Amino acid sequence: MENYINCEGEVKLYYRKDIPEGVLANVIINHGFAEHLNRYDYVTKKLNEAKIGVYRYDLRGHGRSKGLKGHINSFMDFVHDTDRVVNMAKSEYPNIPLFMLGHSMGGFITCLYGINHPNKLKGQIFSGAAVRRLPQVKGIKGDIFNLLNLIVPNMKIKNQLSKDICSLPEVVERYEKDPLVLKEATLNFYVQFLVKGTGWIGKNIEKYNYPCLIIHGEKDKIVPKETAIFLYNNIVSKDKEIKIYDNLFHEILNEKEKDKILLDIINWIYNRFNGEGQKVY
């Protein structure tokens, strides 16, 4: 089933839900910067096979969601949007455990959500989560971004991520040819995400307390693996786990080893509501 959700600022989020018969748990997916929900078709298929339902949506400014493309006013708009999806899932399946999976910028949103809404989910999964300033905007570069944003907030900046998203050339080629992938975003989008948003997380990270699984590619050139280690070391969650996968790039859920990683995710979810030992392999 697919439809739209009305959100603040006359934005309508395009969403899809795939709930298998006999569902045991549901997961909300927050995709990464420039992406859209269709890039998680395979993830959804494997989760559905494990009796895990999936709610996906195109983030504000992305894909088929209605509103200005490649633009946000505030990083906190992402939190409000995500909460709309959470509330919908909880109202439709009130007795089913609800989890959240965020990749890259979606991991940033997942972390923001976890800090702001500590009691609404069973747990969260972070994939290549961009929860602190990336090398591209560290130090004086971030200050320059902020200064420019005061003058030309709507200036467009090209998306130059494609070559580093995955080690598989076919994944990169599909990404580059995908008409729904954002080709550019406003300067304010980058500042809200990479400067102000990550700064807010840095100041509030010790409030994060969800059970969480942190997964990352060891050769990630977009979000360095040290970001995952930072997240693990600075949250106060007692139930936390980190896995760094050797030789994988940023989009670990699109690499050759994706089935193993998805099994790790499924087993982690099962163990949060079924108890230890209830594995799928």
Give per-residue pLDDT as tens, 29-44. Answer: 999 999 999 999 999 9
Percent of the chain scored above 70 by pLDDT? 90
- Quote the number of domains for the chain: 1
List Cα–Cα distances, 55 to 58, 120, 274, in angstroms: 11, 15, 21
Does any domain span residue 281?
A: no
Concatenate the DSSP letters of all residues of 180-191 into one string: TS-SEEEHHHHI
What mean pLDDT is predicted for residues 52-72?
Answer: 97
Does any domain span residue 278?
A: no
Q: Which domain holds residue 11?
A: 2-273
Of the candidates 202, 189, 225, the residue with the CA atom closest to the CA atom of residue 132:
202
Does any domain span residue 203?
A: yes
> What pLDDT does residue 280 have?
47
Of the candidates 259, 250, 232, the residue with the CA atom closest to the CA atom of residue 33:
250
> What pLDDT does residue 143 have?
57
Of the candidates 130, 73, 78, 132, the residue with the CA atom closest to the CA atom of residue 250:
130
The answer on pLDDT for 190 being more than 50 is yes
Does any domain span residue 44?
A: yes
SS3 (DSSP) at 279 = coil
Q: Residue 177 is part of a domain; what is its CATH number?
A: 3.40.50.1820
> What pLDDT does residue 277 have?
40
Does residue 115 contact residue 212 with C-beta atoms inside 8 Å? no
Does any domain span residue 58?
A: yes
List Cα–Cα distances, 250 to 140, 166, 199, 274, in angstroms: 25, 6, 22, 30
What mean pLDDT is predicted for residues 76-91?
Answer: 98
SS3 (DSSP) at 25 = strand
Does residue 214 contact residue 184 with C-beta atoms inside 8 Å? no
187: left (phi over 0), alpha (psi -120 to 50) or beta: alpha
Cα–Cα–Cα angle for 48, 52, 53, rounded to 5 degrees: 80
What mean pLDDT is predicted for residues 40-58?
Answer: 98
Does any domain span residue 193?
A: yes
> What pLDDT does residue 145 have?
59
For the stretch 229-272, pLDDT in tens is 999 999 999 999 999 999 999 999 999 999 999 999 999 999 99
At 201, list the tokens: 């997380």
In angstroms, the CA 44 to CA 20 distance is 10
> Residue 278 — very low, low, confident or very high, per pLDDT cuts 50/70/90?
very low
Indicate if the alpha-carbon torsion angle 235, 58, 255, 176 is positive or negative: negative
> What pLDDT does residue 173 have?
97
List Cα–Cα distances, 85 to 143, 185, 195, 251, in angstroms: 34, 24, 26, 24
Phi first, then psi: give them for residue 14, nearest 5 degrees.
Answer: -80, 130
> What pLDDT does residue 137 have?
57
